[in-house]
Amino acid sequence: MKLGLTAQLSLVLLLLVGVALGAALVSMRVELRWAIPIALIVAALLTSLVTRSLTATTTHLTEVARAMADGDLSVRARVPKSSQLAPLGAVLDLLATNLSSTLAELTSERDKMSSILESMREGVMLLDTEGRIRHLNPALREMLWIQNDVEGSTLLEAVRQSELHALLALARRTLDAQRGEIEVRGLKPRVLLVQVQPVPEQGWLLVFFDVTEMRRLEGMRRDFVANVSHELRTPVASIHSAAETLMSGAKEDPKAAARFIEIIDRNAIRLRDLVEDLLSLSSIESGAFRLQREQLELRPFLQQHLKMFEGRARERRIRLEVNTPDDLPPLDVDSRALEHAVSNLIDNALKYTREGDRVEISGRPLGAMVELRVADSGPGIAPEHLSRVFERFYRVDKGRSRGVGGTGLGLSIVKHLVEAHGGSVGVESELGAGATFWLRLPARRPARAQVLERDSAEAPPAS
Ligand SMILES: Nc1ncnc2c1ncn2[C@@H]1O[C@H](COP(=O)(O)OP(=O)(O)O)[C@@H](O)[C@H]1O
Ligand SMILES: [Mg+2]
């Protein structure tokens, strides 16, 4: 059996004790021939006693060390202080204590990292140096439609996306970060911005940002600018060519001059309307238009407001009727916004319906809202256009709309204004059977309900 340095020292010490004892016996005049064997026997007995105790402690320490190696860091050697192996036991215990606190720190760090990864909206994937997936978070699973367990497989096996593979291949070739956009088709098409980043000695980190909405908005803005430019170009070109014709001699002919001046005037009005509509739209969209809500009785408001349209209605022999019940609750709206919205609807009804038609403006209570309906008996709108007429620049018949001075922005302004109040808009129509546009706007709650609500909000909770 192998003994440690301390144990060997102990043995030497015991031998020395034996020799000393022998010497003592000699000095006590015990016959020399007995003294040596006695001393040796005592030394041997003492040695065996110490060796046995050392062996037991060593076995205990070995067991404790093995338990620790097997992962149980809660065991402690607790060797008695009197034992020669006590320092070794103490070191072993300290080692276990330090190891378990390091392990606890590492575990909490890992938990923190994984909860961050789990809750991230960005997709994250870690590939090892071989290109095998080591980790991917739930956001990425959703983005790339990955349902099965792909950890351990290669990117190629897990994701069928050639642009993504090309991006990773480029990063691996250049050993540098790369960034690119990929399009994911399927039920929910998306545009993802991918950043591939080398991670020293680990592999590659891929971060995916969903930029679908951003790209959609950019597309809308591009379309909007293109539409605006297109809409502006036509009247500007008409004004320019009319002015040129006038300058190149038409001004000498009073009849022709009057015609070209009228063209200039009509197109200048179109430009003005377009610019005004664009300004309204941009001020509502940018939030610069602040609603000033007030209590507004619908019937007097309509009677007053319709006066503006009487002349035009008479001209086209269109009957304008107002129909609201007596008990209609007042509205809780911004009167300028309502005026703007209602004007657009009546303007459309007067523009797009035939001469001799009828336009009825009515109101009815609808829960906490009031529904305002503008119904005409005109040509109506075909079903395929119904869901789109509230879009910017959408016109069922472009030529006809321009002919009657339309910008294609009126209904989108109406929608924005009503939605800013927390309301909604819609249209019901059948081709050839008229169209009914409706706005649902919040009604002013009766004062009693408001008081009750305030009281219940202020009252302490019932115990
Ligand atoms: N009362 C209506 N009857 C039939 N079509 C209508 C009516 N109101 C609107 N529309 C259709 O909806 C389109 C969008 O209306 P709007 O946004 O007000 O634009 P604009 O009046 O400038 O053309 C119109 O071009 C027209 O085709
Ligand atoms: Mg209009």
- Cβ 196 vs Cβ 206: under 8 Å: yes
pLDDT number for residue 38: 80
| Sheet (strand 178-184) strand order | 133-136, 123-128, 203-210, 190-199, 178-184
Structure tokens at 81: 């202080």
Percent of the chain with pLDDT over 70: 90
Residue with tokens 């006695």: 38
Question: pLDDT tier at 405 (50, 70, 90 boundaries)?
Answer: confident
Q: Evaluate if residue 269 carries a pLDDT over 50.
A: yes
312 versus 18: which is more confidently predicted? 312
* Whether residue 408 has its Cβ less than 6 Å from ligand 1: yes
Q: Evaluate if residue 364 carries a pLDDT over 90.
A: yes
pLDDT in tens, 291-305: 899 999 999 999 999
Q: Evaluate if residue 90 carries a pLDDT over 60.
A: yes
What are the E-state strand segments in 377-429?
Answer: 424-429
The protein residue with its alpha carbon nearest to ligand 1, atom 18, reads 410
Mean pLDDT of 214-237: 91
* Whether residue 381 has its Cβ less than 6 Å from ligand 1: yes
pLDDT number for residue 313: 94
Nearest listed ligand to the Cα of residue 415: 1
Best of 318, 393, 395, 415 to mutate for ligand 1, by most ligand atoms within 8 A of CB? 395
Q: Distance from the CA of 106 to the center of ligand 1, in angstroms? A: 66
* Whether residue 406 has its Cβ less than 6 Å from ligand 1: yes
Nearest to 137 by CA among 214, 201, 205: 205
- Taking residue 123's Cβ as centre, other Cβ atoms within 10 Å add up to 23
pLDDT number for residue 94: 92
pLDDT in tens, 190-200: 999 999 999 99
* Whether residue 435 has its Cβ less than 6 Å from ligand 1: yes
pLDDT number for residue 462: 44
* Whether residue 377 has its Cβ less than 6 Å from ligand 1: no
Q: Evaluate if residue 2 carries a pLDDT over 90.
A: no
Quote the DSSP letter at residue 441.
E
Q: Distance from the CA of 421 to the center of ligand 1, in angstroms? A: 22
Q: Evaluate if residue 288 carries a pLDDT over 90.
A: no
pLDDT in tens, 140-158: 999 998 888 999 999 888 9
- Taking residue 231's Cβ as centre, other Cβ atoms within 10 Å add up to 20
* Whether residue 349 has its Cβ less than 6 Å from ligand 1: yes
pLDDT number for residue 381: 93
Q: Which atom of ligand 1 is nearest to the CA of 409?
A: 17
Nearest listed ligand to the Cα of residue 400: 1
Instruction: State whether the Cα torsion 297-301-302-304 is positive or negative.
Output: positive
Rounded distance between C-alpha atoms, residue 104 and residue 357, angstroms? 81
Helix residue ranges per DSSP H, 286-364:
298-315, 335-352
Rounded distance between C-alpha atoms, residue 421 and residue 406, angstroms? 25
* Whether residue 396 has its Cβ less than 6 Å from ligand 1: yes
Q: Which atom of ligand 1 is nearest to the CA of 344?
A: 18
* Whether residue 274 has its Cβ less than 6 Å from ligand 1: no
Q: Who surrounds ion ligand 2 at CB < 5 A? A: 348, 410
Indicate yes or no: pTM above 0.85.
no
Q: Evaluate if residue 36 carries a pLDDT over 70.
A: yes
Rounded distance between C-alpha atoms, residue 296 and residue 324, angstroms? 14
Q: Distance from the CA of 414 to the center of ligand 2, in angstroms? A: 9
Give the DSSP H/E element, type plus range, for residue 106: helix 86-119
Nearest listed ligand to the Cα of residue 407: 1
CA angle, corner 169, sides to 165 and 174, nearest 5? 150
pLDDT number for residue 52: 86
CB-based contacts of 258: which residues, under 8 Å, 6+ apart? none
